[in-house]
Amino acid sequence: MTVHTGWQGRFFEDFVVGDVFEHPLGRTVTTTDNIWFTLLTQNTAPLHFDHEYAKRTEFGQPLVNSTFTLALVAGQSVTDISQNVYANLGWTDITLPNPVFEGDTIHSRSEVLSTRESASRPGLGIVTVRTTGSKQTGETVIEYVRSAMVYKHGHGPRADRTRGDQQ
């Protein structure tokens, strides 16, 4: 019998400027997702959780909480971008050009914009990506730039499991 290890994610050296990752998992947003996330974060805007209120807006239905959209699309990118993250450094240039509604299915992709070794932490590098989330119609619903510190091969909490190297 052959034992295969599961996907361990990309390390700093695996990123090349210009590479695009089509993240594999889409997600359909439900009413429960929207209401629970909105109330969990203490967002009191009825546009997200009061269907009768939302019917009287120009949208005619609840809008999905935009921070849920950010969290979902960021989560979709983890398997390709930050499975081996040390820390997120920031999100910038966040735009929400089209609304997300309950029942929309979101997919995402990320393009590597830049990479550089960390000046202060030799076992890490900084990766910057532009991530775009789209719904089933093809419309972009979110785009942002994200920078993260990512472990190099042979470093980090799994170093002894992935290559036998030490941190």
Cα 85 to Cα 2: distance, rounded to the nearest angstrom: 29
Total-model pTM = 0.89
Tens of pLDDT, residues 75-120? 999 999 999 999 999 999 999 999 999 999 999 999 999 999 999 9
Per-residue pLDDT at 4: 79
| Whether the predicted pLDDT of 167 surpasses 70 | no
Does 165 fall in a domain?
no
How buried is residue 89: exposed, middle or buried, by Cβ count under 10 Å (0-12/13-18/19+)? Answer: middle
Does 39 fall in a domain?
yes
Does 117 fall in a domain?
yes
Does 6 fall in a domain?
no
Q: Which domain holds residue 144?
A: 12-160
Cα 35 to Cα 31: distance, rounded to the nearest angstrom: 6
Return the H-helix or E-strand segment holding 95: strand 85-95
Please give the tally of structural domains in the chain: 1
Does 80 fall in a domain?
yes
Query: Residue 149 in contact with residue 84, Cβ under 8 Å?
Result: no
Does 1 fall in a domain?
no
Provide the CATH number for the domain around residue 64. Answer: 3.10.129.10
The 8-class DSSP code of residue 83 comes to T
Tens of pLDDT, residues 31-64? 999 999 998 999 989 999 899 999 999 999 999 9
Does 105 fall in a domain?
yes
Cα 82 to Cα 87: distance, rounded to the nearest angstrom: 9
